């Protein structure tokens, strides 16, 4: 019987991001993170600061319905803090540089 490797951190992080953004006091947070690219950057920020957590399940139709139960309350709080840090990091990050600003002739004015 074959086993499937499942990343259980990603669904937990996505769920916590959803909860944090839903409770965000500023609509600009929700608008900013409505973009899939920006939301992926936030998830990447959080996931890169967490230990990877995987589980194997048999291909017998079994699925992991509640991956959040694999984390303690303290770990959920830690993930939530990382989400808040990531939101601040993404919001304060300068706009993406354009190809035009990367041309050496524009560096010195």
Label the pairing between strands 54-58 and 3-7.
antiparallel
pLDDT of residue 79: 94
pLDDT in tens, 11-31: 899 999 999 998 887 777 778
pLDDT in tens, 29-80: 778 888 899 999 999 999 999 988 888 776 544 456 777 777 889 999 999 9
Specify whether the CB–CB gap between 81 and 26 falls below 8 A.
Answer: no
Question: Is 60 exceeded by the pLDDT of residue 103?
Answer: no
Q: How many residues are recorded in the chain?
A: 109
Question: Is 60 exceeded by the pLDDT of residue 99?
Answer: no
Three-state SS for 55-90 is: EEEECCCCCCCCHHHHCCHHHHHHHHHHHHHHHHHH
pLDDT of residue 95: 52
Report yes or no on whether pTM surpasses 0.75.
no
């Amino acid at each position: 019987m074959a086993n499937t490797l499942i990343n259980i951190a990603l669904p937990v992080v996505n769920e916590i991001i959803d909860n944090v953004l839903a409770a965000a006091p500023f609509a600009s947070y929700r608008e900013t993170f409505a973009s899939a690219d920006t939301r992926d950057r936030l998830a990447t920020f959080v996931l890169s600061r967490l230990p990877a957590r995987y589980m194997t399940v048999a291909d017998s139709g079994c699925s992991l319905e509640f991956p959040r139960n694999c984390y303690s309350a303290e770990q959920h709080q830690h993930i939530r803090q990382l989400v808040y840090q990531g939101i601040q990091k993404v919001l304060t990050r300068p706009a993406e540089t354009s190809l035009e600003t990367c041309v050496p002739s524009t560096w010195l004015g």
